[in-house]
Amino acid sequence: MRRHIPATAGMLLAVLGALGGAAARTEPATVASGAPQVPPNFLVAAYARGLNHPGALLVLPNGDVLVTEAHGVSLLRDTHRDGVADLQLPLVTELERPLGLALRRDRLYITNAEGVHACVYLIGRARLTGACRQIAELPADSGPPLAGALAFNRDETTLYVGLDGHRGPTQATPPSVYALQPDGKAGHRQATLQGAPAGLALEPGRGQLWSIDTGRSPPVLLPVDAGGQSVALEGDASSVGFVFYARDRFPKPYRGAAFVAQSGGAGGGRILAVPFADARPSGPPEQFVDGFGSDATGRPAALAVTRDGALLVADEGRGTLWRIAFKCGACTPDPVPSHPARH
């Protein structure tokens, strides 16, 4: 049974389901066995299966998808453009337990328990074109554990890294967002949080860096090192990552929104949608996807947006990437008005 949906989300889904009147075609909500439950007129299917604890996701400019697994990074390619990755290739195998991914020109950046690494890679290739080397100089005695999140600023001059807290024999390092040059030098603490940052991403309108502070109760989606409106992420699940939707294939209320992955809780996990307008939150979080499984078989771990505007969900428990797309044959391009800004 579908879990309770907040009133704002229920109204949105009711409008989506009623689009086009009696003649509207409502597509099936689920087309793959074991898939999570999505709203009316959205389709969900497996983009890739058989992955070993999939985690961080990175969509490359050519449409390829990189995903971290327990023993490296894999490249997924949909050669037929049918929404299924028919090629799954090992790309990085020498780095254990990778946590985060970012790309800058011909360098692929990867975090793991040892630090931040830069690998020589040309987009479109099925293998690295050069070696990986550790570049980061992390603070504290042995360096605080990496929370894994990675993000570049807009002009790619600064690499942001999420750091968990660390208590060494001589000093304590708080959870923080750390800033580095692309070569790993000139590192400094950009912002201090109360708990480990769950994800880092630039808001597409103004390029402000956002994160989730997991040390607050409840966790909070907030702009990093800047004043402004934040959003409390209520619920019994743990917030593990988020992504901004910067495409135009979803209905208007979702464009520019932050999709937040939450793992655990009574339903095994869910995805929230936080509406944004004018580069700031414009409403409370709304439940978008649930039904990952209360038996812990499904655990959403990360999110990404594909070039064709679908939402990818890394399901760590099932070893699957789910692809969620909007498909409504009777809908107009902009069927629902945007949420009004709330002050």
Contact 200, 252 (CB under 8 A): no
From residue 326, alpha-carbon distances to 72, 83, 165, 272 in Å are 31, 12, 39, 16
Q: Is residue 200 part of a domain?
A: yes
From residue 111, alpha-carbon distances to 244, 255, 343 in Å are 21, 29, 38
Average pLDDT over the chain reads: 85
pLDDT digits (tens, 9 = 90+) for 30-47: 456 689 999 999 999 999
Q: What is the 3-state composition of the chain as percent helix, strand, coil, each rounded to the nearest 5?
A: 5, 40, 55
Of 325, 247, 327, 249, residue with least CA distance to 289:
325
Query: Beta partners for 117?
Result: 110, 134
Instruction: Give the pLDDT score at 147.
Output: 73
Q: Is residue 335 part of a domain?
A: no
3-class DSSP state for residue 305?
strand
User: What residue has token string 């630039």?
Assistant: 202
Contact 307, 59 (CB under 8 A): yes
**Structure-block tokens of residue 229:** 């409106």
Of 326, 287, 290, 288, residue with least CA distance to 306:
326
When mean pLDDT is compared across 127-131, 135-139, 241-245, the lowest value belongs to: 135-139
Model confidence at 166, pLDDT cuts 50, 70, 90, reads low
**Structure-block tokens of residue 285:** 């979080």
Q: Is residue 239 part of a domain?
A: yes
Q: Which long-range contacts (CB under 8 A, 24 or more apart) does 163-171 make?
A: 163/138, 163/139, 163/196, 163/197, 164/196, 165/195, 165/196, 166/140, 166/142, 168/140, 168/141, 168/142, 169/141, 170/141, 171/140, 171/141
> Does the structure show a pLDDT above 50 at 16?
no
Q: Is residue 106 part of a domain?
A: yes
Q: Which domain holds residue 31?
A: 7-326
Contact 317, 297 (CB under 8 A): yes
Q: Which of 91 and 297 is assigned the larger pLDDT?
A: 91
Q: Which of 335 and 220 is assigned the larger pLDDT?
A: 220
- Can you list the positions of beta strands (E) in 19-112? 42-48, 57-59, 65-69, 72-77, 87-92, 100-104, 107-112
pLDDT digits (tens, 9 = 90+) for 185-213: 988 999 999 999 999 999 999 999 999 99
> Does the structure show a pLDDT above 60 at 336?
no
Of 311, 318, 189, residue with least CA distance to 250:
311
Instruction: Give the pLDDT score at 22.
Output: 31
> Does the structure show a pLDDT above 60 at 296?
no
Q: Which of 325 and 21 is assigned the larger pLDDT?
A: 325
> Does the structure show a pLDDT above 50 at 2?
no
Quick one: DSSP state of residue 252? G
Residues ≥6 apart with Cβ < 8 Å to 304: 57, 58, 59, 65, 243, 311, 312
180-199 burial string, b = 16+ CB within 10 Å, else e? bebebeebeebbebebbbbb
Percent of residues, the chain, with pLDDT higher than 70 = 81
Q: What CATH number has the domain bearing residue 317? A: 2.120.10.30
Model confidence at 138, pLDDT cuts 50, 70, 90, reads low
**Verdict on whether the full-model pTM lies above 0.85:** yes
Cα Rg of the chain (Å, integer):
20
pLDDT digits (tens, 9 = 90+) for 213-246: 999 999 999 999 888 899 999 888 899 999 999 9
The number of folded domains in the chain is 1
pLDDT digits (tens, 9 = 90+) for 58-107: 999 999 999 999 999 999 999 999 999 999 999 999 888 999 999 999 99
Q: Is residue 240 part of a domain?
A: yes
Model confidence at 180, pLDDT cuts 50, 70, 90, reads very high
Q: Is residue 141 part of a domain?
A: yes
> Does the structure show a pLDDT above 90 at 294?
no
Q: Is residue 37 part of a domain?
A: yes
Q: Is residue 332 part of a domain?
A: no
- Residue 200 exposure: Cα atoms within 13 Å on the Cβ side: 30
> Does the structure show a pLDDT above 90 at 12?
no
Model confidence at 343, pLDDT cuts 50, 70, 90, reads very low
CA angle 154, 112, 101 (to 5 degrees): 30
Q: How far apart are CA 257 and CA 324, in angstroms?
A: 15
